[in-house]
């Protein structure tokens, strides 16, 4: 016991196991993670900064996984691809979404991706004092749809009579198909209006 000659743990091993645990759908926590790694919970604190640290680690990992973003193309192609990439990540690890939501972003890769988005919008012609607002909107949209993927099959569960909601729910496609369609529709709407706004600004 005590200190082994070759370390049992490493930041990478912890991140891998954490993502696996999250994806398995079992409740996530440092104790559960330690069990999965065959180790004592306190061991993790030699490598990682507690629960929040592990979550931030996953955010970084799962955004690196998403791979290279489009580097050239029109600004709206870049925006669309960035959002689609983010959505793919959320789709691959839906259970991670509720964990990362509302925590300050410090991971360098994630920061870099937002930085690139900001530069792109600025170069496209959006004014300085509007770029961050546009990004906040894109972010709200992406995270909202991320949560949509993490949500239970039934978002609404009407108990009694409804005027139209019940019928539409019954008729509509379910699960990922519904979510995918809504995402693409929303993306189209958002880009349309951004294009229009930019045209007016540049005119």
- List interacting residues with DNA (CB under 7 A): 1-4, 7-9, 27-32, 39-43, 45-47, 50-52
* Residue 158 contacts a copy of itself per CB under 8 A: yes
User: Using the rule CB under 8 A, which residue among 48, 80, 194, 198 binds a copy of itself?
Assistant: 194
Q: Which residues, numbered 86-115, are part of the site for a copy of itself (CB under 8 A)?
A: 97-98, 101-106, 108, 111-112, 114-115
Long-range contacts of 173-181 (CB under 8 A, 24+ apart): 176/91, 176/149, 179/145, 179/148, 179/149
* Residue 116 contacts a copy of itself per CB under 8 A: yes
**Secondary structure class of 23 (helix, strand, coil):** helix
Q: What Rg value do the Cα atoms of the chain yield, rounded? A: 21
C-alpha dist (Å) from residue 56 to 11, 68, 122, 153, 200: 12, 20, 28, 27, 40
Q: Based on CB atoms, which residue is closest to a copy of itself, 17 or 58?
A: 58
The stretch among 13-21, 26-34, 74-82, 175-183 that binds a copy of itself (CB under 8 A) is 175-183
Contact 145, 94 (CB under 8 A): no
- Give the residue from 134, 148, 137 showing the smallest Cα distance to 177: 148
- Contact partner at residue 71 from DNA, a copy of itself, none, CB < 5 to 8 Å by partner kind: none
User: Using the rule CB under 8 A, which residue among 10, 12, 77, 132 binds a copy of itself?
Assistant: 132
Residue whose token pair is 């029109």: 74
Task: Give the N- to C-terminal CA distance of the chain in Å, as an integer.
Answer: 72
* Residue 136 contacts a copy of itself per CB under 8 A: yes
* Residue 200 contacts a copy of itself per CB under 8 A: no
Tokens of 20: 């696996």
* Residue 51 contacts a copy of itself per CB under 8 A: no
Residue whose token pair is 């030699």: 46
Q: Based on CB atoms, which residue is closest to a copy of itself, 8 or 155?
A: 155
Tokens of 118: 């900001």
* Site residues, a copy of itself (CB under 8 A): 97-98, 101-106, 108, 111-112, 114-116, 118-119, 122, 128-134, 136-137, 139-145, 147-148, 150-152, 154-160, 162-165, 168-169, 171-172, 178-179, 181-182, 185-186, 188-190, 192-194, 196-197
């Amino acid at each position: 016991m005590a200190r082994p000659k070759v370390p049992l743990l490493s930041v990478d091993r912890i991140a891998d196991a954490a993502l696996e645990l999250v994806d398995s759908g079992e409740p996530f926590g440092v104790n559960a993670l330690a069990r999965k790694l065959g180790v004592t919970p306190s061991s993790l604190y030699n490598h990682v900064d507690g629960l929040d640290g592990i979550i931030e680690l996953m955010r970084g990992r799962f955004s690196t996984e998403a791979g290279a973003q489009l580097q050239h193309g029109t600004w709206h192609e870049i925006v669309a691809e960035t959002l689609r990439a983010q959505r793919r990540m959320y789709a691959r690890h839906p259970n991670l979404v509720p964990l990362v939501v509302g925590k300050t972003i410090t991971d360098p890769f994630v920061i870099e991706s937002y930085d690139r988005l900001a530069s792109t919008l600025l170069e496209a012609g959006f004014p300085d004092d509007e770029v961050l607002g546009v990004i906040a909107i894109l972010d709200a949209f992406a995270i909202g749809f991320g949560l949509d993927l993490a949500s239970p099959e039934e978002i609404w569960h009407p108990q009694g009579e409804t005027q139209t909601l019940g019928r539409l729910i019954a008729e509509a496609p379910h699960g990922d198909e519904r979510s995918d369609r809504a995402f693409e529709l929303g993306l189209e709407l958002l880009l349309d209006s951004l294009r229009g706004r930019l045209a007016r600004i540049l005119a």
